[in-house]
A = this chain, B = another copy of it.
Amino acid sequence: MGRMVGPILERFLSTDEVLAVFEPHAFVQAMLDVEAALARAEAAEGVIPAAAADAIAAACDARAFDLDALAADGARAGSLAIPLVKQLTAAVRSRAADAAAWVHWGGTSQDVIDTAMALCTRRAHALVDAALARLADAALDLAAQHLETPALARTLMQPAQVVSFGFKLVAWAAPVVRIRARLARAAREGLQLQLGGAVGTLGTLGAAGPAVARRMADALGLALAPGAWHTQRDAWVALGCEVGVLCGALGKIGTDIALLAQGEVGEVTEPSGEGRGGSSAMPHKRNPVAAMIARAAALRAPARVAALLAAMPQAQERGLGDWQAELAEWPGLWIAAHGSASALAEAVAGLAVDAPRMRANIEALHGLVFAEALSTLLARELGKARAHEFVERLTARVLAERRSLCDLALEAVAADGTLQGRVARDAIAAVFDIEGAARRAADVARPQLAALRPHRQDRNPA
């Protein structure tokens, strides 16, 4: 049962790694890490005796705490930190009676809880960051491999024109790389030490306050805020928003995979093996499980971001209900994001790409996807409006006669008084050149790919 963390239907869409970051013991340990860091920083600044700090730090081990009592007492007290401090004080007292008086000295519940959440979040961010790196690498590697593989572009869920599969993959990877950088920036800005004391003035610590804060921030690896952010949640919520943007961008990849993996499209398949995506009832099915997870995260994240934003107007010097709601919603966002990023990283790394099927899907359209290009070619002779009409007549025939637009265009141009002799057969054939179209898309994608790859090499110099 030890690892049975979180509601089962959330766990199923996430990873054990990120769930472990926020599970009760981990969070309580993070609160204790904050208490220990507070005591040590105060001792270093001469605010409390060094021996007291040692005794406090030694007692800060979550395994010795009664978590059920903590939750029950916390619910009554309206704060988890109150019973934590009580248990910690008792633990310290049993070791060193004098030290007990210095437990939680100068701190307030919110200092402990917010900073603990920042610590857990730093770990969650590292997990998400690593998954995004894997995903970006996988997508860019695949892009390099399929840079000129012809594939249909589809707009408004209809076939549009020919691009390359690599072009699509670069469009998946670019936001991942961008968001990874933006997320790192938001984490630097938003993962801050909270230390304000009862009302944000660090009253009990007096003049030693700023120095204690600096030491704590350094020790815990968090940014030092210009002041307590008890009810100024902008940098913190902005970090949550970036996670929301991430889930949205990953949801786009999941949606694309799901669409490309449909039976009738068949251009990609998620990796199988070890029971992935099977169906008990239907042995032939291979369900796109990573796409499912990514889409689920993209559906859930917006609502959680909305809850964080809605909780921002916290009253005066500490919120009533809004602060607590924000914290309760926070972990779910990261849990969903890591589930999504991890699943996609694995799926894209093992993605089966069916290039012949991509080509077949293009050919099944009888050249109609080149109608605009043909129209552009003929416009030089006929003007735009007449060229458009000319092509429209041909496209109607493609659908009726099931012949290729290329053949019909060659015939029609040869038979047209204005066009014959003025539009070369080669020029028409070039319009319908599938590889040519894919190469042009590759030309657009190549500089982006190059710009995105250095980033990769920086990280993996070996």
Contact = CB atoms under 8 A, between A and B. Distances in A.
Which of A332, A361, A392 counts the most chain B CB atoms within 10 A? A332
Contacts of A100: 384-385
Which of A72, A202, A244 counts the most chain B CB atoms within 10 A? A244
Contacts of A11: 71, 75
Interface stretch (A141-149, A260-268, A412-420): A260-268
Given A199-B163, A203-B440, A369-B284, A276 B156 contact: no
A249 interface: yes
A294 interface: yes
Interface stretch (A34-42, A130-138, A318-326, A453-461): A318-326
A307 B299 contact: yes
Contact of A281 (B258, B275, B361, B372): B372
Interface string A1-45: 111101111111100100000111001100000000000000000
Contacts of A351: none
Contacts of A233: 248-249
B77 A277 contact: yes
11 contacts: A6-B7, A8-B67, A12-B80, A155-B285, A156-B318, A161-B199, A167-B201, A204-B376, A292-B321, A296-B324, A303-B304
A327 interface: yes
B227 A174 contact: yes
Contacts of A161: 198-199, 201, 203, 282
Given A77-B276, A80-B8, A444 B248 contact: no
A287 interface: yes
Contact of A277 (B68, B78, B306, B372): B78
A87 interface: no
Contacts of A64: none
A281 B234 contact: no
A153 interface: yes
Interface string A327-341: 111111000000000
